[in-house]
């Protein structure tokens, strides 16, 4: 990537403030609330035009839920998502539908995200059919163009998804997301279901498209290696909160949060001599219905102190453009 930093002058495309999603588990005739699963618990992040923001975290940390809220597919419990000056959470159905032209999504599993009963032409042409008044022929021509952009060819127009491989299906999904020329694309682990050899192709394709169409990408993944190559900035999530957010290079050069450090250390190295004597994290992600007191990470943190058990740290700028939520950030 050429442009690494979130130059403060860059235009803000989306501003997320205090985003929360709590799922209430209710039982009985009187719908007594028995627990409150805090899937996303206060996410603040700003997305700048043209950048790629990687969101990383382990399963269950709320990253996909966050993605769905950014898409407007899920109403947040609290907080706001401001996209191009308008609050997505306050929109009615019609405004939301209109807004979808600008925010699109690429799903994780290309085998589940394409309607098996539609041909490639219908799949990719559908957004155009819904949002434009183009004729069938115009739509077909655009679909053919889109197919070429994503590296498929027009012979495949009349085929059904099951006739394609995983990588090809993901290309179809990308073409579908691209059809309306959106400004922002949320990629929800778009390569984690693909073969390793295909992953690089899809990532390169996304990078190419980002340049060509001036896209802003939010790239959700569960490990740092997947986002390293494509992201400008990386946010690390743990139990519904962002624990660290900074430029990619700065993050890889020295993490501030022990959790990020653990993620970095768990990346396999090229050579045995490069292995560190790092001990992997123990235990599982705590139950988001009953999060630990204080810092959510203290149960697994090797450096946890008394204050970590009592007081939750807030996301603070410890270095320039480098925010972390930790009482004892790791300075290197």
- CA nearest neighbour of 206 among 61, 138, 104, 123: 104
Residues 6+ positions from 252 with CB-CB distance below 8 Å: 224, 228, 264
CA dist 244 and 238 (Å) reads 9
CA dist 287 and 246 (Å) reads 27
Could you tell me which stretch among 7-15, 27-35, 127-135, 282-290 binds another protein (CB under 8 A)? 127-135
Asked if residue 31 binds another protein (CB under 8 A), the reply is no
Could you tell me which stretch among 7-15, 22-30, 160-168, 312-320 binds another protein (CB under 8 A)? 160-168
Q: Under rule CB under 8 A, how many of the chain's residues touch another protein? A: 47
Name the minimum Å distance from CB 96 to another protein. 8
Asked if residue 24 binds another protein (CB under 8 A), the reply is no
Name the minimum Å distance from CB 203 to another protein. 12
3-state secondary structure of 127: helix
Asked if residue 212 binds another protein (CB under 8 A), the reply is no
Within 171-190, which residues bind another protein (CB under 8 A)?
171, 173, 176, 179-180
Name the minimum Å distance from CB 120 to another protein. 11
Say how many C-beta atoms besides its own lie within 10 A of residue 139's C-beta: 20
Within 60-79, which residues bind another protein (CB under 8 A)?
71, 73
Residue placing its CB nearer to another protein in the complex, 151 or 223: 151
Asked if residue 98 binds another protein (CB under 8 A), the reply is yes
Residue placing its CB nearer to another protein in the complex, 107 or 238: 107
End-to-end CA separation in angstroms for the chain? 25
Give 286: exposed, middle or buried? Use CB within 10 Å, 0-12, 13-18, 19+. middle
Asked if residue 104 binds another protein (CB under 8 A), the reply is yes
- CA nearest neighbour of 257 among 245, 249, 267, 266: 245
Asked if residue 246 binds another protein (CB under 8 A), the reply is no
- CA nearest neighbour of 179 among 220, 130, 135: 130
Taking each helix axis as running N to C, give the angle between helix 166-178 and helix 120-131, from 0 to 180 degrees, rounded to the nearest 10: 20
Asked if residue 17 binds another protein (CB under 8 A), the reply is no
Binding site for another protein (CB under 8 A): 71, 73, 96-98, 100-101, 104-105, 107-109, 112-119, 126-127, 130-131, 136-137, 140, 144, 148, 151-155, 157-158, 160, 162, 167-168, 171, 173, 176, 179-180, 198, 201
């Amino acid at each position: 990537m050429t442009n690494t930093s979130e130059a403060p002058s860059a235009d803000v495309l989306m501003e997320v403030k205090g985003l929360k999603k709590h799922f209430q588990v209710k039982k009985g005739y009187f719908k007594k609330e028995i627990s409150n699963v805090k899937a996303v618990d206060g996410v603040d992040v700003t997305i700048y035009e043209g950048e790629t923001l990687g969101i990383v975290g382990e399963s269950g940390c709320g990253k996909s839920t966050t993605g769905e809220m950014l898409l407007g597919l899920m109403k947040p419990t609290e907080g706001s998502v401001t996209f191009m000056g308008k609050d997505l959470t306050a929109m009615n159905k019609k405004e939301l539908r209109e807004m979808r032209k600008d925010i699109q999504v690429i799903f994780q599993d290309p085998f589940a995200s394409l309607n098996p009963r539609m041909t490639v032409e219908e799949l990719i042409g559908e957004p155009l059919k819904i949002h434009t008044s183009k004729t069938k022929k115009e739509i077909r021509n655009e679909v053919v163009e889109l197919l070429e952009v994503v590296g498929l060819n027009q012979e495949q127009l009349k085929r059904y998804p099951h006739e394609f491989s995983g990588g090809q299906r993901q290309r179809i999904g990308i073409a579908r997301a691209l059809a309306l020329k959106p400004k922002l694309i949320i990629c929800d682990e778009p390569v984690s279901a693909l073969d390793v050899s295909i992953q690089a192709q899809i990532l390169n394709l996304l990078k190419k498209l980002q340049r060509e169409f001036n896209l802003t990408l939010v790239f959700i993944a569960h490990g740092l290696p997947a986002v390293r190559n494509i992201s400008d900035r990386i946010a690390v999530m743990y139990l519904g909160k962002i624990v660290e957010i900074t430029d990619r290079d700065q993050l890889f050069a020295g993490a501030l949060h022990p959790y990020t450090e653990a993620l970095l250390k768990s990346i396999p190295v090229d050579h045995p001599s490069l292995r560190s004597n790092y001990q992997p994290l123990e235990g599982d992600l705590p139950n988001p219905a009953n999060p630990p007191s204080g810092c959510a990470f203290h149960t697994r943190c090797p450096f946890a102190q008394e204050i970590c058990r009592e007081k939750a740290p807030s996301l603070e700028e410890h270095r320039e453009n480098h925010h972390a939520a930790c009482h004892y950030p790791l300075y290197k």
